């Protein structure tokens, strides 16, 4: 039999009481935040909020105390993340550092890197962006051309990174690049560098998304001198490292809760309507959410145990993107969007925001086709 099993998700009373603590904090912290602000989900940027979260000890929640972490369980972290997302907290500033850059440094970074960076991340003072995609390298990550030429005292970096979310507000980038001129060795010739974005020769240009918002950037490196100690992990081991980074990126609640606020405002709009169509549609979404959340929490348990749930994470993200994308469509089946009703202004605002965002959900963090390719590999087909 093909083994697609998702073990029973771990549970603890401690995590559930932590949930109450997080809810209390967010109720105060987010009072007055509008539904339109909340539906931004993990794209909402607020450095002040991230600092206050850091003061609670809630960034790098699972990390060792010596690096500013709180040494709490992966399960508590899962609870924290889903509560932040469900409340529509503006988490973008610290999100990438907390989700993948910090864990990457913890695993592969030098002692000096860990000491210099991780405590600042946990205080909500140090933000990261991802340096993977390039103009000619999207899904085919190994086609990256940005070249860090090894020289005596470090590297000289030339190249361009693209779609760099919040690159214009980040302090550091984890740069995936080539460190060998041998292009035959697509995987072995790559490394990861910790890039201080204030270095001379780095130009960050905005790319406005279709809604007019500025999240994306183009980051150009022109003869940027990077010190030798910026190397993360081993020279030439970039491919393996970046794959492990992606497992952190693909299974969390951020992969199915992006349009939760559309559903919340939809339910508000449906109040007082007593019809089967509403019940069936809302019940169907709830059934999907409950089932998917179970799988996602199961993956959190596997990560906690140090397992490598690449296949399971891809399954969660593929199903999650479908659900996130489907919610606005279902809402449009239930509410006549040709007749915007002033009484439901919040609903229409979150819906219109979401409609413009949902195409990205099956692109970011691995396209639908790439994920299905990973699943097919898990089935032994490739």
Partner 1 sequence: MDDSRSLLLDTAGRLFAELRETPDDADTAWRRVAELGLPLALVDEAHGGFDLPVADALAVVRLAGQYALAAPLGEALLANRLLAEAGADIAAGRPTLAVADPHSPLTLNREGDRWRVHGRLPAAPWVEHAEVVVTIARHDRQNRLLLLDPDSLAATPGTNLADQPRTDLTLDLDLDNHRVRELPETLGAEWLFESGALLRCQEIAGALATVLDMTVQYAGERVQFGKPIARQQAIQQQLAVLATQAAIAAGAADMAVDAFHDPRRHALIAAAKARCGEAAGQALAIAHQVHGAIGMTREYRLNLYSRRLWSWRDEFGSERYWQARLGEQVLARGADGLWPFITELGSSTEGARQ
In the complex, the residues that contact partner 1 under the rule CB under 8 A are 1-2, 4-6, 8, 11, 16, 19, 82, 86, 260, 263-265, 267-268, 270-271, 276, 278-284, 286-295, 297-298, 312, 315, 318-319, 369, 371-373, 375-376, 378-382
**Which of 91, 97, 94, 99 is closest to 44 using CA atoms?**
91
Question: Least separation, in Å, of the C-beta of 336 and partner 1?
Answer: 19
Question: Least separation, in Å, of the C-beta of 356 and partner 1?
Answer: 22
- Judged by beta carbon, residue 160 or residue 259, the one nearer partner 1 is 259
Q: Do the strands 172-178 and 128-131 form a parallel or antiparallel pair, or are they unpaired?
A: parallel
- Judged by beta carbon, residue 23 or residue 205, the one nearer partner 1 is 23
Question: Least separation, in Å, of the C-beta of 323 and partner 1?
Answer: 10
Dihedral over Cα of 175, 176, 177, 178: its sign? positive
Question: Least separation, in Å, of the C-beta of 120 and partner 1?
Answer: 32
- Judged by beta carbon, residue 194 or residue 315, the one nearer partner 1 is 315
**Which of 40, 45, 222 is closest to 127 using CA atoms?**
45
- Judged by beta carbon, residue 121 or residue 246, the one nearer partner 1 is 246
Backbone phi and psi for residue 220, each to the nearest 5 degrees, phi listed first: -105, 130
- Judged by beta carbon, residue 175 or residue 246, the one nearer partner 1 is 246
Three-state secondary-structure class, residue 269: helix
- Judged by beta carbon, residue 28 or residue 198, the one nearer partner 1 is 28
Question: Least separation, in Å, of the C-beta of 311 and partner 1?
Answer: 9
Question: Least separation, in Å, of the C-beta of 273 and partner 1?
Answer: 8
Question: Least separation, in Å, of the C-beta of 132 and partner 1?
Answer: 22
- Judged by beta carbon, residue 132 or residue 319, the one nearer partner 1 is 319
State how far the Cα of 76 lies from the Cα of 64, in Å rounded to an integer. 15
Question: Least separation, in Å, of the C-beta of 46 and partner 1?
Answer: 21
**Which of 314, 337, 298, 199 is closest to 249 using CA atoms?**
314
State how far the Cα of 173 lies from the Cα of 120, in Å rounded to an integer. 15
C-alpha pair distances (Å), 269 with each of 33, 40, 280, 334, 335 = 19, 20, 15, 10, 8
Listed in sequence order, the residues at least 6 apart from 102 whose beta carbon sits closer than 8 Å to its beta carbon are: 60, 63, 117, 118, 121, 128
Structure tokens belonging to residue 34: 């509008």
**Which of 296, 235, 244, 249 is closest to 95 using CA atoms?**
249
Question: Least separation, in Å, of the C-beta of 334 and partner 1?
Answer: 11
- Judged by beta carbon, residue 99 or residue 293, the one nearer partner 1 is 293
- Judged by beta carbon, residue 184 or residue 276, the one nearer partner 1 is 276
Listed in sequence order, the residues at least 6 apart from 39 whose beta carbon sits closer than 8 Å to its beta carbon are: 88, 259, 261, 262, 350, 353, 354
Listed in sequence order, the residues at least 6 apart from 239 whose beta carbon sits closer than 8 Å to its beta carbon are: 142, 186, 187, 188, 190
The residue written with tokens 């999907």 in the block is 288
**Contact, 159 vs 134, CB < 8 A?**
yes
């Amino acid at each position: 039999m093909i083994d697609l099993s998702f073990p029973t998700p771990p549970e603890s009373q401690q995590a559930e009481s932590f949930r109450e603590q997080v809810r209390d904090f967010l109720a105060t912290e987010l009072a007055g935040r509008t539904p339109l602000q909340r539906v931004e989900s993990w794209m909402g940027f607020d450095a002040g909020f991230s600092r206050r979260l850091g003061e609670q000890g809630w960034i790098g929640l699972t990390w060792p105390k010596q690096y500013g972490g709180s040494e709490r369980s992966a399960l508590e972290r899962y609870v924290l993340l889903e509560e932040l997302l469900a409340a529509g907290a503006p988490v973008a500033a610290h999100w990438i550092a907390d989700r993948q850059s910090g864990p990457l440094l913890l695993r592969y970074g030098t002692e000096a890197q860990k000491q210099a960076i991780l405590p600042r991340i946990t205080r909500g003072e140090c933000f990261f962006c991802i340096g993977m995609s390039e103009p000619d390298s999207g899904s085919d990550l190994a086609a990256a051309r940005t070249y860090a030429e090894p020289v005596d005292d470090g590297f000289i970096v030339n190249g361009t990174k693209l779609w760099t979310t919040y690159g214009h507000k980040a302090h550091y980038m984890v740069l995936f690049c080539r460190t060998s001129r041998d292009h035959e060795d697509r995987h072995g010739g790559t490394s990861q560098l910790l890039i201080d974005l204030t270095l001379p020769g780095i130009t960050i240009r905005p790319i406005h998304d279709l809604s007019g918002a500025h999240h994306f950037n183009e980051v150009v490196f022109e003869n940027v001198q990077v010190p030798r100690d910026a190397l993360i992990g081993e020279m030439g081991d970039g491919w393996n490292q970046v794959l492990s980074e992606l497992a952190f990126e693909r299974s969390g609640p951020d992969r199915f809760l992006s349009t939760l606020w559309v559903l919340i405002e939809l339910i508000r709009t449906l109040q007082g309507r007593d019809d089967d169509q509403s019940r069936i549609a809302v019940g169907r979404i709830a059934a999907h959410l409950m089932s998917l959340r179970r799988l996602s929490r199961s993956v959190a348990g596997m990560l906690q145990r140090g397992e490598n749930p690449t296949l399971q994470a891809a399954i969660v993200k593929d199903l999650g993107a479908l659900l996130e994308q489907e919610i606005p469509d279902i809402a449009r089946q239930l509410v006549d969007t040709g007749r915007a009703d002033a009484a439901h202004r919040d609903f229409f605002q979150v819906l219109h925001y979401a409609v413009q965002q949902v195409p990205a959900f099956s692109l970011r963090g691995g396209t639908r086709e790439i994920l299905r390719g990973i699943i097919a590999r898990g089935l032994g087909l490739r």
